[in-house]
Amino acid sequence: MNKIEMNELDRIRHSTAHIMAAAICRLYDNVKLDIGPPTEDGFYYDFDMNERLSTDDFEKIEKIMEQIIQEDHPFTCEEVSRDKAIDMLKGQKYKLERLNDIPDGEPITFYTCGEFTDLCRGPHIASTGEVKAFQLVNVAGSYYRGKETNPMLQRLYGTSFKTPKDLRLHLKQLDEAKKRDHRKLAKELDLFSISENVGPGLVNWHPKGARIRSLIESFWQNEHYRNGYEMLYTPHVGKSSLWETSGHLDFYREGMYASMDVDGQEYYAKPMNCPFHIEIYKANLRSYRELPLRWAELGTVYRYEKAGTLHGLFRVRGFTQDDAHIFCTAEQIEDEIKEVIRFCNFIWKTFGFNDVKAYLSTRPDKAVGEKEQWDKAIKSLKDAINAEGLPYDIDEGGGAFYGPKIDLKVKDAIGREWQTSTIQFDFNLPERFDLKYVGKDGLNHRPYMVHRALFGSLERFFGILTEHYAGGFPLWLAPEQVRIIPLSEELNVYADQIEKKLLIHDIRVKIDKRQDKLNGKVKNAQLEKVPYMLVIGKEEKEENKVAVRHRLRGMIGKLKLDEFVTMIKQEVTEKRDINKEVPH
């Protein structure tokens, strides 16, 4: 087993995971160990033990961890034979199974710090004393190897940083993330729900959430038409023969829902839209004169995700992909990719995400397609990233076997990075489905095919967007843009008149006619994060005006209704983010 590459922070976190496991073994008897890797923002370790851990136990575990750090034990590595490893792991059934995963001929290594020794590929820091800032953050159940038929282990999460200051900033971010949790905001703002009666991972969109989704879809569709795409609609199920040709039944069957019998033939709910788009391509003889073809679809797909991995809108079982596929010639590919990157960057910035970074994955050792195709594809991806001026990292050999790709990641309002858009070459499906076009020479040629998901899925994007804005959506996306607040029942007629005029201008508006005081109505609108409130008293009625109040800016003043309409229509057109303009 070769040592894996880790940056300095990963080594610190991996080593802190070992320190945590050592502390658990000091505190509790008969602990069975599994694995303890670093993660993107910390580390975890999986344990099988008699005691049920809770957050109440964190303080005493952290105290022992501090002792081990103060003892400053060096991390030492020993390479052993398989027989000796088996002897060292007596009573550790999970570790013995992990040992079996190491192929014959690869080194078997153990790392020791103090009295704690662990089967581990490394690497680690020099000694426990190098850990300067850590904290335990959560404990949860986790099936061994992620399989629901296996035993449930306890997964203890922590985080570790180079300095106490970095740790404090991270914990502050975690606290802010809890406030912005899209599941919490969905209940408070009545956006969506996931019902056990419908099924885990299947989303019910409530009117407000559906309104925002509709606005996103309309914008998405209009911008695609403006950028030379055509829309497709495809079925939710397909015959087994389609999925056999695409390879999904061979390589992805466990992620597909069980087949259904239709007229004696097997059908499957679609996990992806690609084969349907390919069938549309094959419906006609294609010429080089038609290319490039840019086809997009908001296509709902269904994938079986394990129950333990489901998480709000971020991991669901039924979701709508904003799929697009480009079919083009070798001569067109570079310009097409440049335009895709530009388009993705434009969309993300429109939604308020200005920090975008690209990650380019290149050819792995085992790959389909000619090397010349790969080289041209990789060059087109690099040139497109550079043309748009995006920062990027390269993952050498990290591409899928069927083509190189670019992943775009964006940072949200509190600095978290999200993997979003994917631009993926595919040299596999055109071969499997025998795609062709007639070239200038009158001969058949294989088109280049590019998959492109901009948001990834509408569900996940909606969750990211909700947390980015903490539920306070900009005016152009707000499900309710204006709340009319009459100060007395006798002013309801005037409120109705204002509502009708606003609706004519496509302004989303409601009237609060409840018998409540002004402060109560304003507070309610604030909690529901309505951008604008129009307060109407006798004076406003007599002057044929409205008193305008903004959720963040406070009272703006009295305006004629036409003036107010002009003001907010301009804000909608500019797609301004008032959250960035007003200090909190």
Q: Cβ atoms within 10 A of the Cβ of 145, count?
A: 16
- Please say whether the beta carbons of 24 and 61 come within 8 A: yes
Q: What are phi and psi of 581, to 5 degrees?
A: -90, -25
DSSP alpha helix (H) spans, 469-537:
492-504, 518-527
- Please say whether the beta carbons of 143 and 152 come within 8 A: yes
b/e per residue, 509-542, with b = 16+ CB within 10 A?
A: bebbeeeeeeeebbebbeebbbbbbbbbbeebbe
- Please say whether the beta carbons of 321 and 452 come within 8 A: no
Strand partners, 418: 410
In angstroms, the CA 518 to CA 252 distance is 58
Residue bearing tokens 């073994």: 25
In angstroms, the CA 30 to CA 23 distance is 13
3-state secondary structure of 490: helix
Token pair recorded at residue 110: 């153990």
- Please say whether the beta carbons of 297 and 231 come within 8 A: yes
Token pair recorded at residue 295: 């086809």
Q: List strands edge to edge, sheet with 116-119.
A: 76-80, 108-113, 116-119
b/e per residue, 451-490, with b = 16+ CB within 10 A?
A: bbbbbbbbbbbbbbbbbbbbbbbbbbbbbbbbbbbbbeee
In angstroms, the CA 43 to CA 20 distance is 10
The string of DSSP letters for 148-206 reads TTSPEEEEEEEEEESSHHHHHHHHHHHHHHHHH-HHHHHHHHT-EE--TTT-TT-PEEP
> Which positions are catalytic?
274, 303, 321, 323, 325, 405, 451
